[in-house]
Structure 1
Amino acid sequence: MNLILWRHAEAEDQASSDLARQLTPRGRKQAQGIAKWLRARIGDDALFLASPATRTIQTAEAFGDRYRVVNALAPGNGAQAVLDAAGWPDGIGETVVVIGHQPTLGHVAALLMTGRESDWSIRKSGIWWFQTRTRGSDGQTVLRAVVNPDLL
């Protein structure tokens, strides 16, 4: 399974509610850049799961309309909620892209890399790409890529 954690792109600071915050023009550009990078590397069968927040939906839309809104990915939910939504480590699909929030995505990255949650930072519109594999009888987690929009 491939699990790609994609933090929403830059959003406005204020709105009628936290869930209503929209992407800034810079955020739209960030999301488009990462979407272009992903499009060249993942198949058409990839599943996209987005938090119900407007900014995550707008980030997902940079890739197209192939996303599903999942309430378990809303701000304030924990790392395990993200992993459960994606079906980690077996997966609800071969490649699952989760578009979500800090600090939760950072907690997921730390958990997958070290076995425990920690306050790791994922930059706005940044991705962390994990993959499961089996060596002998051992399941392993591999970090395939970390990409930030300013590197594209």
Structure 2
Amino acid sequence: MNLILWRHAEAEDHAASDLVRQLTPRGRKQAQAVAKWLKARIDDDAVFIVSPATRTIQTAEAFGDRYRVVEQLAPGKSAQAVLDAAGWPEGIAETVIVVGHQPTIGRVAALLLSGQEAEWSVKKAGIWWFQQRARGVDQIVLRAVTNPDLL
């Protein structure tokens, strides 16, 4: 299974509620750059799951309309809730892209790499790509880490 953690792109600071904050013009460009990078690297059958927040939906829409809104990815949810929503490590699909929030995305990355949740920072619109594979023993491989500033 491939698990790609994608933090939402830059969003406005204030709105009527946290869930309705929208991407800024810069955030839209960030999302488009990352979507272009992803399109060149993932299969057509990849599954996108996104938080119910407007900014995550808008980030995923840079890739297209093939996403599902999943309540377990809402702001403030746990790292384990994210992994459960993705079906980690077996997966709800061969490749699952999770579009979510800090600090949860950073906590998931820490948990996968170190075995413990920690406060790891993931840049806005950043991608962390993990792969679960079996080679006599289950392994977690970090395939890529990038952000729109590097694309």
Query: With structure 1 as the length reference, what TM-score do the two structures score?
Result: 0.99
Output the CA distance in 2 between the equivalents of 1:127 and 1:51: 16
Output the CA distance in 2 between the equivalents of 1:55 and 1:142: 28
> Which position in structure 2 is the counterpart of 1:64?
64
Output the CA distance in 1 between the equivalents of 2:45 and 2:121: 28
**Which consecutive unaligned segments of at least 5 residues does structure 2 have?**
none
1:36-51 to structure 2, matched below 5 A, reads 36-51=36-51
**Amino acid corresponding to residue 32 of structure 1 in structure 2:** Q
> Which position in structure 2 is the counterpart of 1:73?
73
Deviation of the 1:79 alpha carbon: 0.1
Moved over 6 A (4+): none
> Which position in structure 1 is the counterpart of 2:101?
101
> Which position in structure 2 is the counterpart of 1:150?
149
Number of equivalences: 151
Output the CA distance in 2 between the equivalents of 1:135 and 1:2: 15
Output the CA distance in 2 between the equivalents of 1:77 and 1:133: 26
**Which consecutive unaligned segments of at least 5 residues does structure 1 have?**
none
Matched, 1:111 2:97: no
SS of alignment partner, residue 91 of structure 2: coil
Output the CA distance in 2 between the equivalents of 1:44 and 1:127: 18
> Which position in structure 1 is the counterpart of 2:21?
21
Output the CA distance in 1 between the equivalents of 2:146 and 2:94: 20
Deviation of the 1:133 alpha carbon: 0.8
**Amino acid corresponding to residue 37 of structure 2 in structure 1:** W
Identity of aligned residues (%): 77
Deviation of the 1:135 alpha carbon: 1.3
Output the CA distance in 2 between the equivalents of 1:87 and 1:140: 16
> Which position in structure 1 is the counterpart of 2:140?
141
**Amino acid corresponding to residue 37 of structure 1 in structure 2:** W
Deviation of the 1:78 alpha carbon: 0.4
Deviation of the 1:92 alpha carbon: 0.3
> Which position in structure 1 is the counterpart of 2:10?
10
SS of alignment partner, residue 42 of structure 2: coil
Output the CA distance in 1 between the equivalents of 2:104 and 2:11: 17
CA RMSD of aligned residues (A): 0.3
